[in-house]
Amino acid sequence: MIIQNHVEDEALSEYFFIEGLIDIDSEYFINEIKKGVEREDNNNFKTNVRDKVTSYKYFNCDKKFINILEKFSKYIDTRCKTNLYGLIDSWGYCVDTNHKTIFHDHKYCVWSGVIYLNSHSQYLEFPGINKKIKPEKGKFALFSSFLKHGTERHDSKETKWGISFNMAPDIFNTKKDKND
């Protein structure tokens, strides 16, 4: 066998990364997360977030969350090229001292997002595009799901609170032929 070339790298691809602020009832969502991480179906220490996490579908039917998500979707739909999508996951988390989020992506989705509920010193990093997000109340990031992201461990005595979500391909919303 003769290998003449072997390349392992990531190809350049179109992506979007949107950062902003939104008015949010942090107290309401933090209280909901506190309840969710105590439920039997929690994902505490089972996910890329190495701390307390609600179930993956925890906020999928929450009216306050859905109202926020509709604003994000309206923005995405009018400004970004995406495939059809729908909400698949939305979970809350809290990250305490010395904990982190392992660097990962959500390649099976169309786009993803995070909303922070308080200010914190632990940045969310996107090394592939050289971006960092500093959490603060109402700060959000919406991004192409294949972008790797995560955090380093932090030594802050404050807990970081947030909500993350994924928009997956919508297989039930396919375009119909105009003759149907």
d(CA 22, CA 142) in angstroms, rounded, equals 12
Taking only the tens place, the pLDDT of each residue in 126-169 is 999 999 999 999 999 999 999 999 999 989 999 999 999 999 99
Taking only the tens place, the pLDDT of each residue in 47-68 is 988 899 999 999 999 999 999 9
Residue 178: DSSP 8-state: T
Dihedral of alpha carbons 41, 44, 46, 48, sign: positive
Instruction: With H, G, I as helix, E, B as strand and everything else as coil, classify residue 67.
Output: helix
Domain parsing of the chain, residue ranges: 25-169
d(CA 178, CA 110) in angstroms, rounded, equals 25
CATH code of the region 25-169: 2.60.120.620
d(CA 77, CA 138) in angstroms, rounded, equals 21
